[in-house]
Amino acid sequence: MRIGELSERTGTSRRLLRYYEEQGLIVSSRSPNGYRSYDENLVDRVLQIRGLLDAGLPTRIIKQILPCLNKPRVIHFPDATPEMLSTLTLERDRMTQRIECLIRNRDAVSEYLDTVSAGATPDRIPQASAAR
Amino acid sequence: MRIGELSERTGTSRRLLRYYEEQGLIVSSRSPNGYRSYDENLVDRVLQIRGLLDAGLPTRIIKQILPCLNKPRVIHFPDATPEMLSTLTLERDRMTQRIECLIRNRDAVSEYLDTVSAGATPDRIPQASAAR
DNA sequence: CCGTAGCCTCACATGCGTGTGAGGGTGAGG
DNA sequence: CCTCACCCTCACACGCATGTGAGGCTACGG
C-alpha cells in the first residue's frame, strides 16, 4: 500500500511515517515511480510504535525492542551482542517501572473518580466521603 | 528544606524543580532571603512527577491528576467541575492503554531475552557469562 | 490535454522537557 | 574581610516528535 493508505489506517501523518522510516523503525520499498510501498503488516507495527512513543520511549529504544516482536521469534538471535542484551534488559526493567508508576497513579485517579461520582451524583451520600 | 537538598534527594536538577513549580506542579514558600523552602512531602511528589513524565504524560495533565493523590482524600472534591471529571476519566483510560501497551511489549522483550539466554549460553557455562 | 490528487524531497517552525551559563545576592567559616 | 557554597532570575540552546508549506514529479479521469 502507499503512504496515504497507511497514514489513514494508522491515524499517523505522512510526515511521521517518513520520519519513522528515517529513524529506522519501519521500512518501505519503492515503486518504479518513486512512491513508497508498504507491506500490510506495517499497519500493526506503526500502531505499536505509536503506543510506545506515547508511553515515553524514544525512537532510539523502540528501534531496539522492535526486533523482539517479529513473529518468527526463533531465527534471529545470533545477532544479539552482549551489550545489546544488557540494554534490552535495562530497558525492560524501565518499562516495568513505568508500568508500576502508571498503575499506581491510574488506580488513584480511578479511586478519586469513584469517590466523587459516589458522593456527588446521588444527592450526596456522606459516608462515601469517609471511605479510605 | 532548600532546593539543593530536594534536588539531591530526588535526583532532579534545580532547574527542573523550578520548572515544575512554574508549571504549577509543586509549590514552595520563600525564606526571608528569597530562597525557596520546600516541605518534606515534596520529595515523594517530585518522584511521582518524574515517573509520570517519564511515562509520557505532559505537565499539563500531571497537574490535573496530582490533586487526586493527596492523603486527605476526603476534603477536596467540591471543586470538581464536570468537564474536569471527563478529562480525568479520559486520561485514566489513556493511562490504561499505555499500561496495556507497555505490558505487551515488555513481556515480548522479556520472552525474547529468555529465549536468547536459554538458547545461546548453555554451550559455555551459562552463569559465568551471566555474571554481572 | 488538462486538472487534480497523491506522492516526492527539503527545510523551516513549534512545543516541551531539559541543560548551561551569565550576572548577582546571602551567609557561614577561616 | 574574603571566600566559598548556596541561592536567585533570566535567557539562550538543544533534542525530539511533530506540523507546515514550498517546489516539483506522476498518473488517472473527464
The maximal CA–CA distance of chain A, rounded, in angstroms, is 71
Distance, in Å, from the CA atom of A83 to the CA atom of A69, rounded to the nearest integer, reads 19
What are the tens digits of pLDDT across the range A69-102?
876 666 655 667 888 899 999 999 999 999 999 9
Determine the distance in angstroms separating the CA of A122 from the nearest CA of chain B, rounded to an integer. 14
The pLDDT confidence band at residue A123, using thresholds 50, 70 and 90, is low
Residue A47 confidence (pLDDT): 98
Residue A127 confidence (pLDDT): 44
The grid cell for A84 is: 545489546
B14 CB-contact burial (10 Å; exposed 0-12 / middle 13-18 / buried 19+): middle
The pLDDT confidence band at residue A130, using thresholds 50, 70 and 90, is very low
Residue B118 confidence (pLDDT): 76
Residue nearest to nucleotide D27 (CA to C1'): A33
CB B4 within 7 Å, strand D: yes
In this prediction, residues A54-83 reach a mean pLDDT of 82
The grid cell for A121 is: 451524583
Structural domain boundaries in chain B = 1-72, 80-132
Among B12, B21, B9, B25, CA closest to B60: B25
Residue B127 confidence (pLDDT): 43
| Cβ(B62)–Cβ(B22) below 8 Å | no
Q: How many CA atoms lie within 13 A of B125 on its CB side?
A: 3
Q: Which of A51-60, A65-74, A100-109 has the lowest mean pLDDT?
A: A65-74
For residue A124, pLDDT beyond 60: no
Q: Is B90 on the interface with A (CB under 8 A)?
A: no
Residue B124 confidence (pLDDT): 46
Q: How far lies B70's CA from each of A49, B48, B125, in Å?
A: 34, 12, 51
Q: Is B111 on the interface with A (CB under 8 A)?
A: yes
Q: Output DSSP code: residue A39.
A: -
The fold for domain A1-72 equals: Multidrug-efflux Transporter Regulator; Chain: A; Domain 2 (1.10.1660)
| Cβ(B35)–Cβ(B3) below 8 Å | yes
| Residue A88 CB coordination number (10 Å) | 21
Give phi and psi for B105, each to the nearest 5. Answer: -75, -35
Cβ A98–B102 below 8 Å, yes or no?
yes
Polymer length in residues for chain A: 132
* E strands present in B7-121: 29-30, 36-37
Residue B131 confidence (pLDDT): 41
* E strands present in A1-132: 29-30, 36-37
The pLDDT confidence band at residue A125, using thresholds 50, 70 and 90, is very low
Cβ B51–A95 below 8 Å, yes or no?
no
- Using DSSP's 3-state secondary structure scheme, residue B30 falls into strand
A38 CB-contact burial (10 Å; exposed 0-12 / middle 13-18 / buried 19+): buried
pLDDT in tens, chain B (132 residues): 999 999 999 999 999 999 999 999 999 999 999 999 999 999 999 999 999 999 999 999 999 999 888 766 665 556 678 888 999 999 999 999 999 999 999 999 999 898 888 766 555 444 444 444
What nucleotides of chain C have any atom within 7 angstroms of a protein Cβ? 6-11, 16-21, 26-27
